[in-house]
Amino acid sequence: MKEVKVEVIGPEPPCMRCQAAKKAVEKAAEKLKQSGIKVEIQKANVMSKDIVGKYGVLVSPAIAINNTVKIMGRVPSEGEIEKLIRETAK
């Protein structure tokens, strides 16, 4: 089983857009589990100096897959996240 780490980067407590982004990631992860791809979802605080230093993210929500920011400043669709995770898992 392939393993992919997805970080949902946003403020604490999460705003509505960040919650929507996390839900989309969770739904995509459920679908991908059936394809043999295990998705580990983590929440990262956009206000953290470590996260800003690591990713340079200044707008949220942002989605990082295996330590690479793929989406920033918008809520992605479930399908878009699924596609990005599949590409990363290859």
Q: Where are the domains of the chain?
A: 2-89
Token pair listed for 12: 């604490």
DSSP class per residue in 19-85: HHHHHHHHHHHHHHHTTTEEEEEEEEETT-HHHHHHH---SSSEEEETTEEEEESSPPPHHHHHHHH
Which pLDDT score, from 0 to 100, does residue 89 have?
92
Which pLDDT score, from 0 to 100, does residue 76 have?
97
Which pLDDT score, from 0 to 100, does residue 38 have?
96
Which pLDDT score, from 0 to 100, does residue 1 have?
79
Which pLDDT score, from 0 to 100, does residue 58 have?
84
Q: Mean pLDDT of successive 10-residue segments in the chain (90 residues)?
A: 94 94 97 95 95 92 97 97 95
Backbone phi, psi, residue 30, to 5° = -60, -45
Please give the class, per CATH, of domain 2-89: alpha beta
Which pLDDT score, from 0 to 100, does residue 25 have?
98
Close Cβ partners of 43 (under 8 Å, ≥ 6 residues apart): 7, 8, 10, 14, 22
